[in-house]
Amino acid sequence: MNPRKRRWSFLNRPGILLLAVILLVGLHPGQAAADPKGKTPSKFINVAHRGASGHAPENTIAAYDLAVKMKADYFEVDVQRSKDGRLVIMHDTTVDRTTDGTGNVKDLTLAQLKQLDAGSWFSPTFAGEKIPTLEEVLDRYRGKGIKILIELKDPSLYPGIEQQVAKALSERKLDKRKDKVVVQSFDLESIQRFHQVLPRVPIGVLASYGDYKETGVTDEHLRSFAAYADYVNPNKDLVDADLVQRVHRHGMKILPYTVRDRTAADLLFTAGVDGFITDFPELGYTHHKK
C-alpha cells in the first residue's frame, strides 16, 4: 500500500473539490445507482484509504472529514508511535514524503511532529494540515456515522503498540461494539497479539502482492487466518472470483486494496468482493448487481 506521491493539479482550481463533494454525497456507498428504486442486493463496504486520499492529503483530518462527507462506510488510518510514546497517524516510517520535515517517525516527539505541515505537499489548499494522533481521530469521529479501519503499521518497530492501541480503544469502549472499528496489519504475529488482548474487535489480515505472488492466497493460509481474523484484505492484483469464494467458505470477508480507477473497481465488483479500500470513495458508490 505504497502509492507514489501525487499532486492533483485540479485541486488548485477554486470550487472544483467542493463541487465534486456536493455532486457525490447524495449517493451512498453500496447504493445501486442504476436502480431507480435505490435498492442494493447486498451491503458493499466502501473504505476510504487513509481518508479520501485521492482528494485530500492522506491521513489528515481534511481527508477523514471528506470521507465522512462522501459517506464512506469506513476510513483507514495507519498507526505508528512517536519518540515520546504517542500514537500518531502516518503511513511511511519517515515524514519525508508527506510533510515539510525529515526523519523517522519514531525519532520525533509528538511536539516535533505537530509542527510539521502535512498538507502542502498535496496542494496549497491544504497548507497547515497537521499529523493527528489516534486518540484525536477516535474522539473526533465518535458518533459521526463512520467506522474506522486501523492498520498497525510496521509494528515490529514499536514493541507493545498492540497493547497501546487496545488501551485507546477500550478506554472509549470501542472494544464493546463489533461494528465500530476493525484492526488490521501485514504483520501476522502482531495482529494475533492484538486479538489476544481485545478478542471482540474484528481483525483484518493484509496480504501483499510480494508475499503471495508465487503461491497465491491458499486454503492453508485461509484456514490459518480464520482462527483469529474476520477479514482478508489482499492486494487487488491477487484477487479473483475463486479467492473471493474461498474466503467466504472460510467464514471471512474480503476487502482488497488499493482501488484507484473504475476498471479496477469493476473487476472487483464482478469478482464478488464484500467491499474495497480506495483513494476515491466515489468508486464504491455504484455496486453492480449480481
287 is catalytic: no
Which candidate in 55, 91, 195, 287 is catalytic?
A: 91
Beta strands in 85-243 (DSSP E): 87-89, 147-152, 181-185, 203-207, 231-234
91 is catalytic: yes
For residue 143, what are the contacts with CB-CB under 8 A and spacing of at least 6? none
Give the separation between CA 71 and CA 87, rounded to whole angstroms: 26
Three cell numbers, residue 156: 515490529
Quote the DSSP letter at residue 286. -
CA distances for 5 relative to 8, 33, 286, angstroms = 10, 32, 27
Three cell numbers, residue 239: 484477487
Give the separation between CA 79 and CA 135, rounded to whole angstroms: 11
Give the separation between CA 244 and CA 217, rounded to whole angstroms: 10
Nearest-Å Rg of the Cα atoms of the chain is 18
Give the separation between CA 54 and CA 37, rounded to whole angstroms: 30
Residue 271: Cβ within 10 Å count: 17
Give the separation between CA 164 and CA 267, rounded to whole angstroms: 38
φ, ψ (nearest 5 deg) of residue 279: -70, -20
Report cis status (omega within 30 of 0) of the bond before 218: no
Give the separation between CA 198 and CA 166, rounded to whole angstroms: 6
Give the separation between CA 75 and CA 138, rounded to whole angstroms: 11
Catalytic residues: 49, 91
